[in-house]
Amino acid sequence: MKTTATIGFLLALTVTAPAQDAAPADRPNLLPGLPTYAPPPPPEPKKLDQPNTSADPDLLVLPKMTVKQKPRPRLNADIVYAPKDLGNALAKQKYTQLDQALNKFTLPLFGQSLAERALEDHKREKKQALTDDVLNLSNAIKQTNPEEAKSLEKAIVMP
């Protein structure tokens, strides 16, 4: 029991001795055989792999990022279908079953099939959307360049 107490006391002295040496220099060293305590140097700040981070104070360095490519856009229905198949697909989307049943048969010389009518409606809607977009653009340009706005309006009206 005495040996463990003596070992514990010696360990306590050796552990606390460096902390006491860190005190001001006017205190005497308790254990004269030990070297004086020298505090470790402060850690250096981490250096990033960024060029000239401290040269320009107005320079903002952003962290590195990984950019992932977006998936390719899907093809439009106009490209995927043949004109007749596109007309049939548009007819199924736009017209009800009753309208499809009533307009199933057409006269070859005088009539227009449901697929042809659906294609014509689709082309008309696309042209109207383009016209609306160009007119909105010309209205926005009127403030800065009225001649350009007039030329856009003329170009959209021309057949």
Name residue 61's amino acid: V
How far apart (Å, rounded) are the C-alpha atoms in residues 128 and 134? 10
Question: Is 124 contained in some domain?
Answer: yes
Distance CA 86, CA 13 (A): 93
Query: Does residue 62 sit within a domain?
Result: no
Residues 27 and 86 in one domain: no
For residue 92, the model assigns a pLDDT of 87
Q: Which two tokens stand for residue 84?
A: 């007749």
State whether 87 and 26 are in the same domain: no
pLDDT of residue 30 exceeding 80: no
The string of pLDDT tens digits covering residues 49-105 is: 555 455 677 888 889 999 999 888 777 766 777 777 888 888 888 888 888 887 777
Q: What is the pTM of this model?
A: 0.46
Clarify whether residues 82 and 148 are in a common domain: yes
Measured between alpha carbons, how far is 110 from 101 in angstroms, rounded to an integer? 19
Examine residue 6 and state whether it is found in any structural domain, yes or no. yes
Same structural domain, 89 and 142 = yes
Q: How many domains does the chain have?
A: 2
**Inside any domain, residue 2:** yes
Same domain? 96 vs 151: yes
Domain that holds residue 34: 1-38
CA distance 84 to 81: 8
